[in-house]
Structure 1
Amino acid sequence: MQTRSRLRSIFTALALYAVAGGVIAYFAYHAYSGDHGIMAKRSYEQDAAQLEAELAKLKATRIAIEHKVSLLDARRLDPDLLDEEGRRQLDFVHQKDLVLLKPTR
């Protein structure tokens, strides 16, 4: 009789350890690869770095456009820029202009 109760206590302890190990493994797995886990954090950081680089490019583009617009200000108009922009938008070429075509690749 005593061997059965001893055997039962050993299996009960092993079952409790197995359940506890399973619970720990479950939480460890989700802490690593869950929606808010370590892998998701790395993904968020990579996305943030890409968006920061894109933002920097957009800011540089905006500064260039603002500079070009400031040159078109009526108080200090750059005649060369006005002529260039007008010809580009109207697709106008003067007879004495030299047109260079870029080869397409």
Structure 2
Amino acid sequence: MLPALALLIIGTFAGHAVAGPNGLLALGGYAHDLKARKSELAQLEAQRDQLRHRSALLDPRKADPDMADEMVRGRLGLVRPDEVIVPLED
């Protein structure tokens, strides 16, 4: 009886090691998830870098005059009739 119980326990652990939620069969899903997360991370890092650059242009100690002018005119709607506005953001 004891050897049969031991084999049952070992079989249960072996089954979970192969087909369990963290088993060998789940490795393919983890690799796919990792690839998707790396892609998302690259997009977020690019967005972060863009926001850092934009915030550096708005630094009060050395603000870029063109950037400040663009933001003020865009937010307040101060555009002359003879100007053409080319939106750079979606």
TM-score, scaled relative to structure 2: 0.67
Q: Deviations over 1:84-104 (max 9, x none)?
A: 112222343222212468xxx
2:41 alignment partner, one of 50, 55, 68? 55
User: Displacement of 1:33 after TM fit?
Assistant: 3.1
Q: State the percentage of identical aligned residues.
A: 35
Residue 23 of structure 2 is aligned to residue 37 of structure 1:
yes
Letter in 2 for 1:55: L
Structure with more contact order per residue of length (Cα contacts < 8 Å, sep ≥ 6): 2
Within-5 A mapping of 1:66-77: 66-77=52-63
92-101 or 69-78, larger mean C-alpha shift: 92-101
Q: Deviations over 1:24-54 (max 9, x none)?
A: 6x77665443212222111112111211111
- Greater alpha carbon shift after TM alignment, 59-68 vs 85-94: 85-94
Q: What TM-score comes out, normalization by structure 1 length?
A: 0.59
Q: How many residues align?
A: 80
Mapped to 2, the partners of 1:44 and 1:82 lie a distance apart of 46
- Structure 1 residue 65 displacement after superposition: 0.6
Bigger shift: 28-37 or 87-96? 28-37
Structure 2 residue aligned with 1:79: 65
Q: Which structure's CA Rg is the greater one?
A: 1
- Output aligned runs, 1:4-43, within 5 Å: 30-43=16-29
Alignment partners' CA distance in 2, 1:44 and 1:90: 49
Would you tell me which structure has more helix in proportion to its own residues?
Answer: 1
Q: Which residue in the other structure is 2:4 paired with?
A: none
